[in-house]
Every structure is written in structure tokens, then in C-alpha cells.
Amino acid sequence: MKILVCLGNVPDTTTKIRFDGEMKNLATEGVQWVINPWDELALTRALEIKEGSGGKIEKVSVVNVGKADAEPTIRKALAIGADDAYRIDADPSDAYFIAAQIAEVVKNNNFEIIFAGKESSDFNGSAVGSMLAEFLDIPSVSAVSAFDFPDGKVVLKRDIDGGKETIGIDTPFVTIVQKGISINPRIPAMRGIMMARTKPINVSQPVAVDTLVEYETFELPEAKAECKMVDPENTDALVDLLHNEAKVI
Amino acid sequence: MSIIVFTENRGGKLKKSSFEAISYAMNIAENTSKPVVAVSVGELGDDELSALAKYGAAKIVSVNDPAWKSNDSQAYTKLMAEIAEKENADTFIFSHSNEGKAIAPRLAVKLKAGLITNITGVPANFSPLTIKRKTYNGSAFQLMKIKADKAVLTINPNSCDVVEKPVDVNIEKFSPSVAGDGATKVENVDVVTGKILLTEAPIVVSGGRGLKSGDNWGMIEQLGEVLGAGLACSRPVSDEGWRSHEEHVGQTGKIIAPDLYIAVGISGAIQHIGGVSGAKVLVAIDKDKEAPIFKYADYGIIGDAFEVVPRLIESLQKFKA
Ligand SMILES: Cc1cc2nc3c(=O)[nH]c(=O)nc-3n(C[C@H](O)[C@H](O)[C@H](O)COP(=O)(O)OP(=O)(O)OC[C@H]3O[C@@H](n4cnc5c(N)ncnc54)[C@H](O)[C@@H]3O)c2cc1C
Ligand SMILES: Nc1ncnc2c1ncn2[C@@H]1O[C@H](COP(=O)(O)O)[C@@H](O)[C@H]1O
């Protein structure tokens, strides 16, 4: 069996978000690009599952829809331990487009377990994983916080309102992962970094897809008014402000 | 053409976010003259379902069938497509919740509809539908426009108003032709019921590493209780096991938008703010006047939480009495 992990290439989570003059694009000067945090955790878990599977999982691949400037991020995934990578050479600006491209990679290479993250930390769409599953007409399980593979059988835990569900599922399927899937992301070791240089990145051209949405301008939130300080001895004053001014209690 | 709202329920009750979704649909309905149809999957009585009509859902399609319990997103997508055809719908409204996020994107692909997720406000334009959504973890917003003939939208809980618009109720019991028991087999459910759902709570009280230990949470629980609030915490607090992971808010935890968020002993790291920037009013209690949380707060108290919180509880008890 083969696992595919979807890999978003996103600005580091501490990036100061600014846009160009027309408010159409992120101002990318000085931005550090990283593996989308959920995808890094997904990859970590996928590798653990492969290692513990007694050979049942033959390989873990990663896929990215992106231009050549995403390759350092892909190389990092290879250094962490992915066996090989697919890159669809296109601007990753739309979830529907991205999912359609990844669906081609899955179909052409017979992946049976596909990991996607809960959301990309730039676009926050929470869309690509589920869209991918629908393109492939296979099941998807969202909000997955644990993935176990006892005796070659998949057992997932999914978060529901106020609790968790344990779920059994047959392959193929898409799992959309979140907090808990693994705790700390694996860090590339020197040996991994050396090996990553020789691992293949298969680059392909995108298939044509209809445009169903259009992206207009970005906006920054309004500047917040100065914080009103309340005397720590006078909590009555805070209650009064919350009741009479903010009207939230 | 009609507008379909996918409603959600928990423990036999509709979730508040479902009423928000109906109100959102009504806003579009009034500007486009399309009727609103609510879909409910689950064991809800007619009395409970009727609550949807209070907000304007003139028709309710109810699937009340034990075969539809496993919450399989692939099966739910087929169900929604079947109802869409029956109701001649072109607009679909979901909550931006775990369930909504699992189904809405699939439905958009199935129907070749434009998808806008993470919505925080009513449409800026109705033809073509143009809507503001949250992006970059709350550090920015983005306007998106639908180009397809159909639209699927997911609305952030607690970010759009609920408006009463009572209509007569018409509940239709529906037996879908597609199978509900899909590929996902639920083997075990472990739910903590009775607690206020963090994502739905209008008031949230949250504690950070400044509280030093899980043993010190008594006063946070008490503060939560006087306010009828949900409880939250910062990531290190859940990582340390002081509190359950259920309570972790932030970029890597739950994303919430209550009317009031009270942060106690939380410094205000950008990844924490990413989960709470939707709060309408933010109160910070921290002993360090330089803590970044005060840049995001509306009201602040600089002081020792162990003195301020008990005093605040007293003030609130006085106020409630
Ligand atoms: C990729 C990534 C994702 C992350 N995701 C999240 C996330 O989702 N959520 C999250 O919360 N964090 C997240 N973090 C961690 C985040 O960067 C901070 O480390 C974390 O939010 C700090 O938690 P804190 O405010 O509780 O602790 P601290 O930063 O240690 O702050 C404690 C505060 O308590 C105050 N204090 C101390 N004693 C008292 C007292 N007696 N009375 C009053 N105040 C007192 C201090 O002045 C201080 O301001 C993430 C980090 C990374 C790298
Ligand atoms: N350009 C991309 N290439 C590969 N996978 C992606 C890409 N963008 C998003 N994904 C995957 O889809 C998940 C959700 O992204 P989004 O729908 O943008 O929130 C991410 O965590 C990734 O796993």
C-alpha cells in the first residue's frame, strides 16, 4: 500500500501579513516559507505508520501544487523521510484547482491512503482534502486526531462536538488531520538531508480546470482602539464597563 | 431556485450555529427572492425542528432515520445533492464547523459550485455573490466572488447575527434513495455531554501558563460558572496536561468567536490570537504590562490573577444578584 501526503507551502506562522499596493497579493519580501504545520504533522505520522507496518506500507510520497519556488519545502519533506515527491507546476491559488491536480496524481499512481491537513495556514480554506476525495469519489474522514494501523487495519479517531469517535475504514480514503495526529514534527537529520538530494521530484503540468470562484482584494482588520485599563483593585468597574459599555454581560 | 441550509444538532437539540445559518440564508433570500429550505439529519422531534421556522425557514426537509447516523461525508454529500435536485437549489449554506467543513467542499465539487469558506460577514454583493472571508489566521480578510451558477458557503459560528423572522412551518419527512451507511464505520463514541460547547459559547474564560498549575483552575472554573461561560486554555496548558485538549484555542486548536473572551495569564502570542481574534470583546488579566495580549484587548487589568480573579468573581456575583 502507498501513502500520499498533501503538502502546502506557506509563510511561517509568525510572518507579518502585508499586501502589495493593490491589496491583491501577499507582500512576500523577507517571508520564510515552510511546510504547512498540519502537513508536517501528517507526514510525521505517515512515516511512523510505514515504519511500524511490517512492510505493508511500501512508500510515503508527498505532493505539492506549486511553482519551482516551492522546491525547498518539498526537499525538506524528503529530508524528513518521504520517499519521493510530485510537484504539479502551477500557481496554487484555488482549492478546486489544487484538488483536481492532486486527484490526477492519485489516479495515475494508485495511492490508497491520502493525508491532507485541516487547513492551510495562509488561505485557511479547509477545502482541499474534502474536494480531493469527491474528485476521486472515495470516502473522507475529517477532524482526525489519531491514526492507528494495527494488523494492517485502519483505525481513526475523529473529533466531534464535545468528544471523539473511533472509526474503522477500508482503503482507499482521504484523511484530513488536525491536532493530536502527532505531537512534534520530525526534524530532518544530516543523513536525511544528504539523501533528499538524490530522491526524485516528479514534475508534471496541470490539467485544465474550470474557474468557479474569483479572488478579489484583501483587507486588513481595522486598527484596534487602545485597550482601556481598569484598576486591579476595582473589578466592579470592569463589570460595569462590560455591562453598560460593551454590553456583553 | 432555492437556498438550502444544512442544519446541525447535538443531543436532540439544534445548534445555535444552525439558526445563524438560517439567518444568513434569509439575508440572501430577501435580496434574491429565493425560498429557504432547511435540511435536518438526525433524531429531532417536530417541536425542535419548528424552531427553524422562527428564523424564516418555511420548509424543513427532515431525514430522521437510524441509517443516517454514521456521519459519512461522502454519503451526506450524495444526500444533499439529491435534496438539491428535488428542491431546485443553487445556493447551499453550512456552518464552518467540523461537520460543515467535511461536507461543503465535497458538495461544491459534486455540483460544480463555487465554494467560499470561513465567512465572517453578510454578502457585499448578491449578483454575483461576493463575500468577505477570514484568511491568514484572522490577520486579514479576503473578498471572494462566485463565478459558477451554484454557490456553497460555510459561515463561521458566532460571526453573523441571528434574526427572528417567524413563518409557518412545513416539515417534510424525507426518505433518501441514497444509502446512509457509507464506508465510515463508527466503532465507539466518547462524548462529554452537558458541557457548554466551546465553539458555540457566547462567553469564554481562558487560562494560560501564568496560572502555574492545573491545580489552580478552581477560580477559572468558578469565573466561568458565574458567567455561564465555556472554558478554554492556551496551548502549553493543554500540552502540559493541566487541562484537556478540548479546551486548547489558537491556530492549532479551536478557533472561536465569542462575544466576550477573558484571557487570564495568557501572554498573547500570535498563534494564540489566531484562534480568538474573532471575539467581539477581549478582556486581558496579566501581571506584565508589556504582555502583547494588551495590544489586542479592549479592557485590561494589570495585576496578579490570584488576587484579581477572586475579586472579579465577587463583583460579578454582586452584579448578578
Ligand atoms: C506553529 C505554532 C502553533 C502554535 N499554536 C498555538 C495555539 O494554537 N494556541 C496557543 O495558545 N499557543 C500556540 N502556540 C504557542 C504560542 O507561541 C505561545 O507559546 C503560547 O500561546 C504561550 O502560552 P501562554 O500565553 O499561556 O504562556 P506564556 O507566554 O508563558 O504567558 C504567560 C503569561 O502569564 C503572565 N503571568 C504570570 N504569572 C501571572 C500571575 N500570577 N497573574 C497574572 N498573569 C501572570 C505572564 O506575564 C505572561 O504574560 C503555537 C506555537 C507555534 C510555533
Ligand atoms: N498547493 C497545495 N499543494 C498540495 N497540497 C495542498 C496545497 N494547498 C493545500 N493543500 C492541502 O490541503 C490542506 C487544506 O488546505 P486548504 O483547503 O487551503 O485549507 C492542506 O493542509 C494541505 O494538506
The ipTM, to two decimals, is: 0.96
The answer, yes or no, to whether any atom of ligand 2 lies below 6 A from the CB of A37, is: no
pLDDT at res. B182: 77
Return the percentage of chain B with pLDDT > 70, whole number. 99
Inform me whether the pLDDT recorded for B192 exceeds 80. Answer: no
**Which of A7, A104, A105, A114 is the pocket-test mutation for ligand 2 (most atoms within 8 Å of CB)?**
A7
Is the residue at B179 inside a domain?
no
Residues B164 and B251 in one domain: no
pLDDT at B193 over 70: no
- Identify whether residues B82 and B209 lie together within a single domain: no
Q: Do B60 and B118 belong together in one domain?
A: yes
Give yes or no for residue B181 having a pLDDT over 80: no
Return the pLDDT at A162.
83
Could you give the C-alpha distances from A165 to B40, B186, B191, in angstroms and in order? 21, 7, 8
Helix axes A37-51, A71-80, angle to 10 degrees: 30
**What pLDDT is stored for residue B70 in this prediction?**
84
Give the pLDDT of residue B195.
72
**Digit-coded pLDDT (tens) for B101-114:** 999 999 999 999 99
Same domain, B160 and B222: no
pLDDT tens per residue across span A111-161: 999 999 999 999 999 999 999 999 999 999 999 999 999 988 999 999 998
Domain, as residue range, for B62: 2-173
H or E stretch covering B36 = strand B36-41
Residue A40 CA, distance from chain mean position: 8
Residue B187 within any structural domain of the chain: no
The answer to whether A105 and A63 are in contact (CB under 8 A) is yes
Share of chain B above pLDDT 90, in %: 90
- Mean pLDDT score, A163-167: 93
Cell of B30: 430577501
- The size of chain A, in residues, is 249
Size of interface A-B (CB pairs under 8 A): 270
d(CA A121, CA A125): 9
Co-location of B218 and B128 in the same domain: no
Q: Please enumerate in sequence order all residues whose Cβ is within 8 A of that of B68, keeping only pairs 6 or more positions apart, or say none.
A: B41, B42, B75, B79, B176, B180
Query: What's the pLDDT tens digit per position in B47-71?
Result: 999 999 999 999 999 999 989 988 8
CB of B270 sitting under 6 A from ligand 1:
no
Give chain B's domain count. Answer: 2
Residue B124 has pLDDT above 70, yes or no: yes
- Residue A223 binned pLDDT confidence (cut-offs 50, 70, 90): confident
Q: Where are the domains of chain A?
A: 2-221
Nearest CA to ligand 1 atom 52: B271
CATH number for the domain harbouring residue B207: 3.40.50.1220
Topology of the domain comprising A2-221: Rossmann fold (3.40.50)
Q: What is the largest CA-CA distance in chain B?
A: 62
pLDDT in tens, A70-125: 999 999 999 999 999 999 999 998 999 999 999 999 999 999 999 999 999 999 99
- For the segment B237-249, the average pLDDT, to the nearest whole number, is 94
Among A5, A94, A120, name the best residue to mutate to test ligand 2's pocket (greatest count of ligand atoms within 8 A of Cβ): A120
Residue B93 domain-assigned (yes or no): yes
- Going by pLDDT thresholds of 50, 70 and 90, the confidence category of residue B194 is low
- Whether A165 shows a pLDDT value over 80: the answer reads yes
